[in-house]
Amino acid sequence: ARASEAGSDHQLAFLAALCSCPLGADQTRVLATLLDAGPDEAGLPGLTLDTDLRWTVLTALVAAGAENSDRIDEELAADDTAGGARRAATARAARPTVGAKEEAEALLTATGDHAPSNALVRATLLGIDLPGQEHLLTGLCERYLDDVTALWKARSGDLAKTVAAGLFPAWSVDADTVARFDAVIADTSRPAALRRILAEQNADLTRALEARAVDAAAAG
């Protein structure tokens, strides 16, 4: 980003790519400077730090454990819009703790008066499965089937489909996970639409597992 032309699309694209990666101390320091002091102080002259990019940077810092819920609330107060609420939901789900992932899970599977909107569901899902956070998601993986089955019964439709696909443990790339879902997919007592979603997700998981095997063979 620093080597790109100031204010160019390439500069913005490189920075956005960085924000999607697990960050080290040097990267979090630069992003924190960008957020608090501006592009010039961060060595990124010409960059336009608009509201959308501020949320992107803040979410990356939250995911790295360099910012917290209080900072999310501050940013939301400055962007008190429907879009701001969605970005705040993503940032909250990105917090690198088991508790934060459980809070996101509870929000996604809530029903009745506490059921979230489809927009809030999609925003929350964006912050759950982030690179480097797989170790925080073991419990969510174990509860996945119970969660989506209960949600499917209580609130079938687009929301249940979105959660079933978005909360699928795609981060658990191993043969046991594939076998577990193969058995569920073969269970005709479950709703056909749900089994179709699981089959699509499990096919992606199978391809990921096969790709890892090819990479391992090539490396060996």
Q: pLDDT tens digits for 97-109?
A: 999 999 999 999 9
Query: Can you state the percent helix, strand and coil of the chain, rounding each to 5?
Result: 70, 0, 30
pLDDT at 148: 95
Residue 139 in tokens: 């419990």
Residue 59 has pLDDT above 90, yes or no: yes
Residue 28 has pLDDT above 80, yes or no: yes
Assess contact for 172 and 141: CB atoms under 8 A: yes
User: What confidence tens digit (pLDDT) does each residue in 171-202 have?
Assistant: 999 999 999 999 999 999 999 999 999 999 99
Residue 79 in tokens: 């962007």
CA distance between the termini of the chain: 35
In which element (H, E) is residue 69 found?
helix 69-78
How many whole angstroms separate alpha carbon 199 and alpha carbon 176? 15
Residue 206 in tokens: 């199978």
pLDDT at 155: 81
Q: Is 173 helix (H, G, I), strand (E, B) or coil?
A: coil
The DSSP code for 22 is -
Share of the chain above pLDDT 90, in %: 94
Query: How many CB atoms within 10 Å of residue 103?
Result: 15
Q: Hey, CA dihedral for 157, 162, 164, 167, is it positive or negative?
A: negative
Assess contact for 127 and 90: CB atoms under 8 A: yes
Residue 78 has pLDDT above 80, yes or no: yes
